């Protein structure tokens, strides 16, 4: 949870500044167009009022969260669009206090948006009624840019990039390095990787190379390095997932801890006010109850590492009642009781819950479900890979959700990238790996908690 606190009129001085960095995506424009009916944007034109609406929303959001903060009221806004908004690159939005009207309790703010080069793309003037009393809000974290903010205090992590012999795979590592998240160690044929970098105009001059002859050789050498602590995490390149995971499973790599490894994805959907974890959408096909216990424990550790202190876990089924002929509902009840008996620790587990009751408090209330998880779920445990994969891809490709995914349950996290993953998703996953690896160093119970046997 985030705690935001306002400033009262007396606490505000001329020249006070608030700013926020945001990398707009094409999906942001589509979402705005769909919500407000911008015909030009819906028709895939560069024209239209989308820029005005998005800039106004960012600036008024900054008023509501930072200057002055909760309880503020925007009275008037004047806006000038100076150029095209940057897409896929950082845009800095800034507000500066220009004037204070003491008799009205109003401040006037100058606003501007600038791209990464410093070019001004929008300017604004805002009049804001300042709250007279101290106010604060507790807000669940939502967008995944917060992962980058958490990484700012950490050093870039050595990450083994396994056989990055495609432009997409290599670009993912380069982007994460540019963001200051990782220092890539490239496992694969150096000449081939350098040729790909030259074709794609990617700078890999500062990266360390470990020569390997084949995908299998790259995977084994990278897994051995992760097991020895020479790299803090692994990122899949252009090899098949089963080749990388086969190497991870080998005893000599020392990566296994005796628990099932599973995939966790953190998701931020525009229409849901809190980010959440969904698992397992990519690895375990039809897990049994015992395997779901490990999946649940892995997910709790993942959520804790990424900033959710006590995750609320919903074990999903098609209904919220236990039905003996529906295995998923039985698993939900069993896992909830296992958590009661401390066979699963670190979170609050309840099930079975259907998806609407898990994420919507109104639905849970209508169905008369009394649960500490219903309507507030931080983690969704799906019945099988088909259900999870479809929900995940529906959110990512049809609902413009942000995603960050890791394979966890081993001594080092693994980024299991897909060819269809966006550049933003790859960077979010790299940030998640950095935070997860750092959390393991500080608190080993995230990976190996003390549970009742």
| 444 DSSP 8-state letter | G
pLDDT at 182: 95
The whole-chain average pLDDT of the chain stands at 90
pLDDT at 46: 46
Q: How would CATH label the architecture of 2-139?
A: Roll (3.10)
161: left (phi > 0), else alpha (psi -120 to 50), else beta?
A: beta
The structural domains of the chain, with segments of one domain joined by +, span 2-139, 154-253, 262-409
**CATH pick for 154-253 out of 3.30.460.10, 3.40.228.10, 3.30.565.10, 3.40.50.10950:** 3.40.50.10950
Contact 270, 449 (CB under 8 A): no
- SS3 category, 299: helix
Quickly state the pLDDT bin for 186 (edges 50, 70, 90): very high
Chain CA centroid to CA 324, Å: 36
Quickly state the pLDDT bin for 206 (edges 50, 70, 90): very high
pLDDT tens-place string over residues 270-322: 878 789 999 999 999 999 999 999 999 999 999 999 989 899 999 999 999 99
pLDDT at 39: 58
State mean pLDDT over 53-72. 91
Q: Which residue has the higher pLDDT, 399 or 292?
A: 292
pLDDT tens-place string over residues 337-396: 999 999 999 999 999 999 999 999 999 999 999 999 999 999 999 999 999 999 999 998
pLDDT at 38 over 70: no
Of all residues in the chain, the percent with pLDDT exceeding 70 is 96
pLDDT at 229: 93
pLDDT at 332 over 70: yes
Give one DSSP letter per residue of 215-259, joined into a string.
HHHHHHHHHHHHHTTSSSEEEE-SS-HHHHHHHHH-GGGT-B-SS
Taking each helix axis from N to C terminus, what angle separates 289-305 and 327-340, rounded to the nearest 10 degrees?
60
Q: How would CATH label the architecture of 262-409?
A: 3-Layer(aba) Sandwich (3.40)
pLDDT tens-place string over residues 101-142: 999 999 999 999 999 899 999 999 999 999 989 988 877 677
């Amino acid at each position: 949870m985030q705690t935001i606190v306002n400033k009262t009129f007396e606490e505000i001085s001329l020249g006070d500044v608030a700013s926020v960095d945001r990398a707009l995506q094409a999906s942001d424009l589509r979402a705005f167009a769909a919500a407000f009916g911008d015909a030009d944007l819906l028709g895939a034109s560069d024209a239209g009022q989308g820029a005005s609406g998005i800039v106004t929303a960012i600036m008024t959001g900054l008023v509501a969260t930072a200057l002055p903060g909760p309880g503020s009221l925007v009275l008037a806004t004047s806006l000038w669009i100076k150029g095209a908004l940057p897409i896929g690159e950082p845009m800095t939005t800034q507000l500066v206090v220009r004037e204070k009207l003491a008799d009205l309790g109003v401040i006037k703010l100058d606003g501007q948006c600038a791209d990464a080069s410093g070019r001004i793309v929008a300017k604004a003037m805002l009049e804001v009624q300042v709250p007279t009393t101290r106010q604060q809000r507790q807000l669940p974290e939502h967008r995944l840019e917060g992962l980058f903010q958490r990484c700012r205090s950490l050093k870039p992590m050595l990450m083994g990039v396994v056989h990055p012999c495609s432009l997409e795979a290599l670009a993912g590592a380069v982007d994460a390095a540019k963001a200051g998240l990782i220092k890539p160690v490239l496992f694969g044929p150096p000449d081939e990787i350098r040729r790909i970098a030259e074709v794609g105009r990617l700078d890999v001059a500062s990266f360390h190379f470990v020569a390997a002859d084949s995908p299998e050789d790259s995977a084994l050498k990278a897994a051995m390095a992760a097991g020895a602590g020479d790299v803090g995490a692994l990122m899949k390149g252009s090899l098949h997932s089963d080749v990388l995971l086969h190497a991870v499973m080998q005893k000599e790599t020392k990566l296994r801890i005796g628990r099932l490894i599973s995939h966790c994805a953190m998701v931020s959907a525009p229409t849901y006010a809190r980010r959440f974890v969904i698992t397992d959408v990519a690895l375990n096909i039809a897990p049994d109850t015992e395997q779901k216990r490990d999946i649940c424990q892995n997910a709790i550790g993942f959520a804790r590492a990424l900033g959710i202190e006590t995750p609320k876990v919903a074990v999903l089924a098609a209904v919220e009642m236990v039905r003996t002929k529906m295995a998923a509902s039985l698993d939900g009840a069993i896992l909830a009781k296992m958590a009661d008996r401390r066979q699963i620790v670190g979170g609050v587990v309840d099930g079975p819950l259907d998806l609407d009751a898990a994420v919507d408090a109104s639905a849970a209330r209508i169905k008369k479900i009394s649960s500490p998880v219903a309507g507030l779920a931080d983690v969704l445990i799906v019945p099988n890979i088909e259900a999870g994969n479809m929900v995940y891809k529906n959110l990512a490709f049809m609902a413009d959700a942000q995603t960050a995914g890791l394979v966890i349950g081993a001594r080092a996290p693994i980024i299991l990238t897909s060819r269809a993953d966006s550049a933003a998703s790859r960077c979010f996953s790299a940030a998640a790996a950095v935070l997860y690896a750092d959390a393991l160093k500080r608190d080993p119970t995230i990976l190996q908690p003390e549970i009742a046997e």
